[in-house]
Amino acid sequence: MKFEKKDFLWGGATSASQVEGAFDAEGKSLTIAEMRPFNPNLDRKSVDELNKYTRSDYEKSIDNKDNLHYPKRIGIDFYHRYKEDIALFKEAGMNIYRMSIAWSRIFPNGDEAEPNAAGIKFYKDVFEECKKNGMEVMLTIQHYDVPYPITKKYGGWSNKKVIDLYIKFATVIMKEYKDLVKYWLPFNEINVATLAPTTGLGIFREDFSSEEDYVNASWQGLHNQFYAQAKVIEIAKTISSNIKMGCMVANMTTYSSDCNPVNIWENLATQQMQRYFYYDVMVKGDYPSYSKRYFKENNIKFETTPEEMEVIKNNNIQYITFSYYMTSTISKELKDAAGGNLMLGGKNPFLKATEWGWQIDPIGLRITLNELWDRYQLPLFISENGIGVVETLNENNTVEDDYRIEYLSKHFEQMNEAIKDGVDVFGYTMWTPIDVVSLSTNEMSKRYGLIFVDYDDYHKGTGNRFKKKSFEWFKNFMKTKEL
């Protein structure tokens, strides 16, 4: 069976903090991501690893008197090896690379009068390398890496002053790269703002006098990001018609655990506030009615102005991108939890799971694409999808990752079915084309790539790149498009 669509964008996705390294090169400041240590005692199935560290824990990383390992400071050294990596992506047949830009390389303190010239040049060089290799760029402006000086001085995204800092940063890079970058995403997985506020917003629980204040601050930070995104879309219209602005949401499709109407409703309510809410605001330009009841009943308060809401209303996204890794079940009383990225759901007896507890559900991708298309009628792009597995090189300096080939091919098949259903899907970037430091667990050993990177969890190793079996499979798929 052939893949249905001809003019389709195929590629891979990474983030600056998980690949670049060179954490202090040429004026760059530390980011939140680079201040969380590797935890050798982590529980791989827990979703608490992102939220368990305090501001004081992060600040200890500056002097690092405990001599801990901070994996994202090294990443996979993409900063120095990007030409090699982009050449490998091209060899695999990719025609788009989704990546992010480190705010801390452009405005290390957030509030400088002028951008850092070395940072501007680095990304220009990367984008030109992509162009030379026949790849479009999809650029995430902020991907979980608020510069620490912004959280220290301004308290992160709950402070409306940070909106202006971000708009300045975004405006500078849009003007600089308008001819090199076509697809833009203002925030990665914008819903993480309320699920993991330190990661998404750069705010810390200990800075607030009560849990209620902390929760309200996270919703304020989310609103500030909604407004900042809309404002950037408004500015983009004045810079270049080449700039296409979308969104990025950590999509969490769930099913009712059974046909009990109580659980059916519980699932719908979960889908409304943990999935549709974010798309609704960014596509329709207002807070939906169901969210207003949720805010009232949960005593959630945040400040909006008529001017902000007008900007949000008039500057909607042009396409939707989302991450899709798994599905889970929902019931009124969750008894048997499964793992997940950022939130726990219930186990589904019909699905297999990874050792991190992520339930593999290719058909769920077709369901998700149909639901989003039916609801929003906007072009769709899968900006993250992949499987993390513990892997080691064999005697032939490769990895026989047939499980990854099966995972990707099954998801491609369901993507193809959705296209046959009439859904407008225009691209796919796997997470990841190359092994990276894991966002949540900070491991190198949780490997997603078609390309193996020779580092362990403490970054012992050569850092050299080796093609896995899945690399050759994907390369062949790009030539034949046979499923």
Q: Are 229 and 168 in contact (CB under 8 A)?
A: no
Closest CA to 252 of 142, 344, 388: 344
Task: Write out the DSSP string of 183-210.
Answer: EEEEESSTTHHHHSHHHHH---GGGSSS
Distance CA 9, CA 279 (A): 22
Distance CA 468, CA 452 (A): 6
Q: Please list, in sequence order, all residues whose beta carbon lies within 8 angstroms of the beta carbon of residue 154, skipping any fewer than 6 positions away.
A: 110, 161, 162, 165
CB hemisphere CA count around 439 (13 angstroms): 22
Burial of 146 (0-12, 13-18, 19+ CB in 10 A): buried
Closest CA to 147 of 96, 109, 185: 109
Q: Is 164 left (phi over 0), alpha (psi -120 to 50) or beta?
A: alpha
Indicate which residue of 49, 266, 384, 391 is catalytic: 384
Closest CA to 438 of 403, 365, 393, 386: 386
Q: Are 322 and 383 in contact (CB under 8 A)?
A: yes
Chain centroid to CA 201: how far?
14
CA 342 → CA 170, 193, 196, 201, 211, distances in Å? Answer: 26, 11, 7, 14, 19
- Report which DSSP code applies to 101: -
Which pair of structure tokens corresponds to residue 353?
Answer: 């799971």
Active site residue 384: yes
Closest CA to 122 of 229, 250, 27, 234: 27
Catalytic residues: 384
